Amino acid sequence: MMIDFILIVSFAAAGAFIGAVTGIIPGLHTNNIAILLLAILSAAGIGIYLCILIVAAAISHTFLDIIPSTFIGAPEEDTALLVLPAHSMVLQGRGYEAICISALASLASVAVCFALLLPFRFVMEEPINFYEIIEKNMPWILICISAIVIFTNENIWKAILIFLLAGIFGMVIIDLNTSFLIQSSPIFPALAGLFGAPALLYAEKKILPEQNLEAEEIRVKKRDIGGGVMAGGIVAILPGVSSAIASTLALALKRERSNEAIVAILSATNTATNFFVLASLFIILKARSGFAIVMREFINVEKWSGFLIPYPYNLLLIAVIVSSTISYFLTKHIGKFVAKNISRISYRRLIRISISIILIMVFLFTGFLGLLIFGVASLIGITCLEMKVRRSVCMGVLLVPLILNYFL
Amino acid sequence: MRKIYPLLAVIGIIFLYFISIFSEPTEIELKDLWKYEGKEVVVEGIVKNKAGDVIEISDGNATGKIYCEGCDEIEYGDQIKARGKVGEYGEELIIYAEKVDILEKWKENAISLPYLAENYEKYVGMNVNVTGYIYSKYTGYFYLSDEYMDYKIRVYYNETIPFEKYERVCVKALFFYNPKNCNFYLKICQPFHGVECYDD
């Protein structure tokens, strides 16, 4: 019994460190690691421990991926909308504060997710079956999100133009085969271009201020965490709807838009999405992410039908607790290290380094076609900034193909 | 605002559109189907089963399902290539085919009896076109063998065959395994099945 517990904690800790590595390398996802584990260790007979490792890595990734998004402006799907506010905080010398807010919001989000787990199970499945209601009405929900994203802009016509431009761009690239050195999708170069490059190129300051490393009094608002968790919970159960849509949904409903609030909401959404993807695997028996699909290959997933949390979901929840605790401190520690050292580099040089890292990652994962997608996406992102339209409008790149997929 | 940015973006989208027209989706193995949910893929395999518009294919390592409307000409044992989007179908994944090409009709792919014996997993439950020699004839069935008589298989056929012993023939039939007596056999049971003289 004790040995089992030690093994669970050890694999969860190892997973947290793997997730930390994937989190701080832009473009690398835990799904890649999960697929790699499946290819190498599928016959090893340690399925449950590998699942613990994968879950821990998936949770940890959502804590750590704030770091490249904040300091070098290299976003992933779930952090795309976070780049501008987080990078703005770096330019105010508050990069470490952004990291601390994000880490705390993610940790708080895990706590709220645990509190809502049992209600989530009864709301989504028997007796309420909310899952079916959401699934049936998903295209309309997506249309409403799009409408909110567009109509909350000052210049609606410009917002519509950017939304459609990003949407058509999304339709064109969505099925392109961009896998280069590893299997990857065109979404990474698209989001890096739409959200990452313009944030770096249009940053007004030329000197990177000394980063404040005293972020003692960090607080996050309960309603920000609650909003993020709700959005993550709704989106996690739906097929083809990514955490980026959850972020857009969470932000669309938010009136106050301080950088701190946006960072907190999006970080909470990001972590909650992966938490509920895991829950969905046991509640509705659907795998809504690559890591959940790989887990299904390793273990027999049995439906959670009663009150008690079934085996092995209970072990995986222990992994979530271990991983989120380790990841919280890792995020702050690595974030502090980066914040401390980043101001030693001139801002012009930092931008060059950041853009080089993004370009290298885009090329390694998606090849020349990925670079072309990145270039076009950057032009759309820059047009969005020039027209003074909110960046969330660029989420048309995912929303339009998804909506049309339901109707065509 | 610099108008050059949106203009270049539009040109870039048009360029990418032309690339998307000429680029083929990824050709994948059936065991990797789950990695491509929501994506367009190309798969290849031999038809193992058909139920309405759903075709089950196998590529030797795994099986996968294809939803294809109006694919009536596809038969068990045909080698097909399908292009379509991976999506959910009840509890499992399926390829909603936009295009299905028959690479080889099972009838055109004549295989020898030793080859069938050594690759039986690939062909069980499917139409096969097997070449061999008439070994012996009985009422309701006959035996087919290879030229060295190392392999023999029973072929069920209700009609009398107009061939003599040791004559080389092609048998178009369904290939079955009987677990009760651990035997493989061929059954001529469809209008397009039969026995023909082997013609080089």
Shared domain for B75 and B120, answered yes or no, is no
Handedness of CA A76, A82, A86, A87 (dihedral sign): positive
pTM: 0.72
Q: Which residue of B has its CA nearest to A402?
A: B38
Q: For A186-195, A332-341, A347-356, A362-371, which range has the lowest pLDDT when averaged over its residues?
A: A347-356
Number of H helices, E strands in chain A: 17, 0
- Please check whether residue B192 touches A, CB under 8 A: no
Average pLDDT in chain A: 84
User: Does a cis peptide bond (omega within 30 degrees of 0) precede residue A312?
Assistant: yes
With respect to residue B18, please indicate whether it lies within any of the assigned structural domains. no
Between vectors from CA A361 to CA A175 and to CA A183, what angle results, nearest 5°? 40
Q: What is the pLDDT of residue A9?
A: 93
B89: distance to nearest CA of chain A, Å?
12
Place of tokens 């890595």: A57
Shared domain for B71 and B136, answered yes or no, is no
- Residues A169, B13: C-beta atoms closer than 8 Å: yes
Q: Which residue of A has its CA nearest to B37?
A: A240
Torsion of CA B165, B166, B167, B169, to 10 degrees: 100
Judging by beta carbons within 10 Å of its beta carbon (0-12, 13-18, 19+), is residue A321 exposed, middle or buried?
middle
In single-letter form, the type of residue at position A212 comes to: N
Residue burial A132-170, b: 16+ Cβ < 10 Å; e: rest: eebeeebeebbeebbeebbebbeeeebbbbbbebbbbbb
Domain ranges of chain A: 2-207+221-407
Average pLDDT in chain B: 85
With respect to residue B55, please indicate whether it lies within any of the assigned structural domains. yes
Domain residue limits at B124 = 106-197
Chains A, B: CB pairs < 8 Å = 70
Alpha carbon A253 to chain centroid distance? 18
Q: Which of residues 183-212 of A touch B (CB under 8 A)?
A: 183, 185
Interface pTM, i.e. ipTM: 0.74
Quick: pLDDT tens for A232-286.
Answer: 888 787 766 667 777 777 777 666 678 888 899 889 998 999 999 999 999 888 7
- Residues A376, B23: C-beta atoms closer than 8 Å: no
- Residues A382, B5: C-beta atoms closer than 8 Å: yes
B82: distance to nearest CA of chain A, Å?
16
- Residues B26, A177: C-beta atoms closer than 8 Å: yes
Shared domain for B128 and B169, answered yes or no, is yes
- Chain B residues with beta carbon closer than 8 angstroms to that of A176: 16, 19-20, 23
With respect to residue B139, please indicate whether it lies within any of the assigned structural domains. yes
Domain boundary among the residues B53, B72, B104 is at B104
Smallest Cβ distance to A386: which of B2, B12, B35?
A: B2
Quick: pLDDT tens for A388-404.
Answer: 888 888 889 888 988 88
Residue B91 has pLDDT above 80, yes or no: no
Q: Which of residues 126-155 of B touch A (CB under 8 A)?
A: none
Strand ranges (DSSP E) for A177-296?
Answer: none
Angstrom distances, CA of residue A156 to CA of A80, A163, A169: 22, 10, 20
Q: What is the mean pLDDT of residues A121-142?
A: 83
B180: distance to nearest CA of chain A, Å?
31
Residue burial A279-317, b: 16+ Cβ < 10 Å; e: rest: bbbbbbebbbbbbbbbbebbbebeebeeeebeebbebbb
With respect to residue B168, please indicate whether it lies within any of the assigned structural domains. yes
Shared domain for B67 and B116, answered yes or no, is no
With respect to residue B53, please indicate whether it lies within any of the assigned structural domains. yes
Which residues, 6 or more positions from A359, have their beta carbon under 8 angstroms from its beta carbon?
A371, A374
- Please check whether residue B51 touches A, CB under 8 A: no
- Residues A379, B12: C-beta atoms closer than 8 Å: yes
- Please check whether residue A239 touches B, CB under 8 A: yes
A57: distance to nearest CA of chain B, Å?
18
Q: Between A264 and A3, whose confidence is greater? A: A264
Shared domain for B100 and B119, answered yes or no, is no
Contact between residue B40 and residue B61 where contact means Cβ atoms under 8 Å apart: no
Q: Which residue of B has its CA nearest to A186?
A: B39
CA distance A343 to A349: 11
Binning pLDDT at 50, 70 and 90, where does residue A304 land?
confident
Q: What is the pLDDT of residue A78?
A: 67
Which candidate in B1, B10, B11, B13 is best for mutational testing of the A interface (most A CBs within 10 A)? Answer: B13
Q: Which of A286, A137, A242, A295 is nearest to B90 (CA)?
A: A286
- Please check whether residue B52 touches A, CB under 8 A: no
Shared domain for B167 and B188, answered yes or no, is yes
Domain boundary among the residues B72, B104, B136 is at B104
- Residues B12, A383: C-beta atoms closer than 8 Å: no
Domain boundary among the residues B104, B124, B156 is at B104
With respect to residue B15, please indicate whether it lies within any of the assigned structural domains. no
Between vectors from CA B194 to CA B190 and to CA B196, what angle results, nearest 5°? 160
What is the tally of structural domains in chain B?
Answer: 2
CATH of the domain at B100: 2.40.50.140
User: Tokens in use for A366?
Assistant: 């998606």
User: Tokens in use for A285?
Assistant: 């028996």
What are φ and ψ of residue B164, in 5° steps? -100, 170
Quick: pLDDT tens for B2-27.
Answer: 678 899 999 999 999 999 888 777 78
Partner residues linked to A151 by β-bridges: none
Shared domain for B46 and B110, answered yes or no, is no
Q: What is the pLDDT of residue A2?
A: 79
Q: Which residue of A has its CA nearest to B91?
A: A286
**Around Cβ A42, how many Cβ atoms within 10 Å?**
13
B43: distance to nearest CA of chain A, Å?
14
Q: Which residue of B has its CA nearest to A170?
A: B13
**Around Cβ B60, how many Cβ atoms within 10 Å?**
12
A180: distance to nearest CA of chain B, Å?
12
Quick: pLDDT tens for A147-175.
Answer: 888 887 888 999 999 999 999 999 999 87
B9: distance to nearest CA of chain A, Å?
5
